[in-house]
Structure 1
Amino acid sequence: MKAIVIGAGMGGASAGIALRNFGWQTEIYEAVAQVKPVGAAISIWPNGVKCLNFLGLQRQIKAIGGDMASMAYQDYQSGQILTRFPLRPLVDRVGEFPYPTARAELQSMLLDEFGRGRVFLNKRLIQLEDNGSQVTAGFADGSTATGDLLIGADGTHSMVRRHVLGHDVKRRYAGYVNWNGLVEIDEAIAPANQWTTFVGQGKRVSLMPVAGRRFYYFFDVPLPTGLKQSRDTSRKDLKRYFTGWCAPVQRLIEQLDPMATNRVEIHDIEPFSTLVRGRVALLGDAAHSTTPDIGQGGCAAMEDAVVLSLSLRAHSLGVEDALRRYQESRVERVTSLVLKARKRCDVTHGKDPLATRQWYHSLEHETGEHILNGMAETILGGPL
């Protein structure tokens, strides 16, 4: 049996590895001429880590993951700690560690494991045909690829999604802009093994440790869409938006490299329930584009890859039947993740100022139990 995967991102590469491990001939086709990560880093929570372990990457993910032993929220103006607690109770409850990871290293790890010789670049999908027994993908360079099934892991602007749904979908602007990048760890900004977040004014500044003694940092600011800003203006923009914030935030702004800082307007897509059509299945952002507010976008794509491969292996009534069962297994889960992230987004970024102020106040009385319970619920909803 042969699978064609459209998209060489985290979801596509994970699906390629999972199907290959189960004996499928698998090829990945990617639109760009050079695979580059979108964003500086990503938080791989234990449900995602367990998926990577399932793919045979337990040693590799530990090697590139950061040591995140605790979590803290701090006041934006004074820098005072509102709450701080260890993450070990979460680890003990869910059975695995979280690993914040540089995206470039994660992407390289996945593609190396899959085998770069079976990843075909500069292959922009322009046509898709499913004749009931095989699927053929046509690319802009005139070439084609045929397989027993096709997986659309081609991201939030998915071409495959249009085939599956029969129409385009609109992205929804979530109301804020995110700046992110990597910087050398400086304990004058935050402890080296802690996820630290400064909150106030509907904004946040967050740092997570990744391997190589680096922080993954991100700044969130509620803003209108379409502002004319770029890397050239990053430091000036951040200084303006975070005027009056505490010394560690100012130090981070001074130390970051503006030309290596990404600026992203955050969107999601309204959840939908059709993830498959015939021998074609959607996976990752193509199936459930979410905001990053609960850190589950990449993890959900890895979950998709595991569930899809298990469904194909466990059921013998044909590819289309197995894909329908994959859809049944995933729709409720991915819908809940999109909506949870949206709800958290709105509270964090001041959509309802009263709710946001109440959240800030609750942090002063937070022991960690409430936050960790919510995280555990999300993590334990995964397939492993």
Structure 2
Amino acid sequence: MYELKAVIIGAGMAGLSAGIALRQAGYEVEIYEKTSKLRPAGAGISLWSNGIKILNRLGLGKEVAAIGGQMNRMEYRSHKDEVLNHVNLMPLIEQVGQRPYPVSRTDLQQMMLDAFGEADVRMGMRCVEVKQDADSATAIFEDGSTATGDVVIGADGIHSVVRTYLAGEKIEPRYAGYVNWNGIVDASPDLAENDVWVIYVGEGKRASMMPIGGDRFYYFMGCPKPKGTKVEPKDIRAELYETFDGWAQPVQNLIAKLDPEEVNRLEISDIDPLSHLVKGRIALIGDSAHATTPTLGQGGCQAMEDAEVLCRYLLTTNLSVEDALKRYEAERKERVAQLVLKARKRTDTIYNKEPDLTQEWYKQLKDEQEKDVTDALAKIILGGPMH
């Protein structure tokens, strides 16, 4: 179909990916963002090869390589610094045909804003309702204004208003049971080698560093905590020292180097797989459709896959917008549901929901072969639209 108009709610990774793809397809695109200033949720993100392939298709391969880290190996270590396993990622890269790139979320968002046109994103526009008729779909905003197009795309995140319309009820996120601290620090040898993703695990917790562009590390640390705990920024370093007391020296060095005022302290949630991703001329993408815990590193990649598949069906089928969206749903629904549940299961294992299973996982890490790890990663990467 040609000469369509798309209204996108949300200017995060999902909304911008869809906006760039649809505009390149020749469609009129309007993006509406509820905040007055874009601030990414979290400091960094691991973009595996399936997500990078989408960016390559959008013409952003050179740009993402420039902001991404060179991640050649990954290592699991115990909290006492015993090497549990190490994996050379080059065979994986050769198998799937593309290098992964961990990146700063701020750098990634700016790259995508530049590609779409930052001035074209309409800020401070909070969507409160959506509706549709036989010929169009409309978003209604808090100020009373409206935007009407051939299709409305909900990319409005885990607390999605558009999802409420599709589901017929408000779906509350499910607390995953742990707090994640994350941020960015300068790379240095007393933290990790600058081409290695290192993950420390023990006591039902983890601490990790991965290389991103600009000779920096994106770090994240997690620990089970009851929902609703709050800590002032000035007390975060003390909280981390207490949480990771006795852990390996690089973890202690990380806590000493980080800026407490710049740490994101997040209670991690996901949503149960949805029965529908579309309704008529309205579709969900990204976290609004399948918010997941970050333990597989696939949240951003799945948002990009959504955008590619949705755009492809709109462009290559001509029965109706509704038909194209149903084809999008049929291709995406099972994949994203499986990954949400797989990430949930992995989260429970990492964060000690069943201590016996967590201890068994620590033992398995010692016995795991490199090929087993790369084959598991490749299966996820190649299971999407970019084989």
Shorter-chain TM-score range: over 0.9
1:74 aligns with 2:61: no
Once residues 11 and 370 of structure 2 are traced to their aligned partners in structure 1, the CA distance between those partners, rounded to angstroms, is 37
Question: Which position in structure 1 is the counterpart of 2:182?
Answer: 180
The equivalent position to 2:33 in structure 1, one of 17, 25, 30, is 30
Tell whether the 8 Å contact from 2:129 to 2:165 is kept in structure 1 after alignment.
Answer: no
Would you identify which runs of 4 or more consecutive aligned residues in structure 1 move more than 6 Å?
none
Q: How does 1:263-342 map to 2 (within 5 A)?
A: 263-342=265-344
Question: Which position in structure 2 is the counterpart of 1:242?
Answer: 244
1:337-378: CA deviations, max 9, x gaps?
Answer: 101101111111111111111111122222322221111111
Q: How does 1:1-384 map to 2 (within 5 A)?
A: 1-77=4-80, 79-384=81-386
Deviates more, 1:361-370 or 1:291-300: 361-370
Count of paired positions: 383
Q: How far did residue 24 of structure 1 move?
A: 0.4
Q: How far did residue 56 of structure 1 move?
A: 1.1
* 3-state SS of paired residue (1:4): strand
Once residues 259 and 373 of structure 1 are traced to their aligned partners in structure 2, the CA distance between those partners, rounded to angstroms, is 39
Once residues 369 and 222 of structure 1 are traced to their aligned partners in structure 2, the CA distance between those partners, rounded to angstroms, is 31
* 3-state SS of paired residue (2:159): coil
* 3-state SS of paired residue (2:102): strand
Deviates more, 1:229-238 or 1:57-66: 229-238
* 3-state SS of paired residue (2:139): strand
1:40-70: CA deviations, max 9, x gaps?
Answer: 0000000000111111111111111100000
- The gaps in structure 1 that reach 5 residues or longer are none
Letter in 2 for 1:290: T
Once residues 233 and 3 of structure 1 are traced to their aligned partners in structure 2, the CA distance between those partners, rounded to angstroms, is 45
Q: How far did residue 139 of structure 1 move?
A: 1.0
Q: Percent identity?
A: 50
Letter in 2 for 1:100: P
Tell whether the 8 Å contact from 1:75 to 1:200 is kept in structure 2 after alignment.
Answer: yes
Q: How far did residue 134 of structure 1 move?
A: 1.0
Once residues 199 and 129 of structure 2 are traced to their aligned partners in structure 1, the CA distance between those partners, rounded to angstroms, is 45
Tell whether the 8 Å contact from 1:230 to 1:263 is kept in structure 2 after alignment.
Answer: no
Letter in 1 for 2:211: P
* 3-state SS of paired residue (2:52): helix
Letter in 1 for 2:99: F
So what's the TM-score if we normalise by structure 1? Answer: 0.98
Tell whether the 8 Å contact from 2:152 to 2:283 is kept in structure 1 after alignment.
Answer: yes
Q: How far did residue 272 of structure 1 move?
A: 1.2
* 3-state SS of paired residue (1:187): coil
- The gaps in structure 2 that reach 5 residues or longer are none
So what's the TM-score if we normalise by structure 2? Answer: 0.98
Q: How far did residue 265 of structure 1 move?
A: 0.4
* 3-state SS of paired residue (1:287): helix
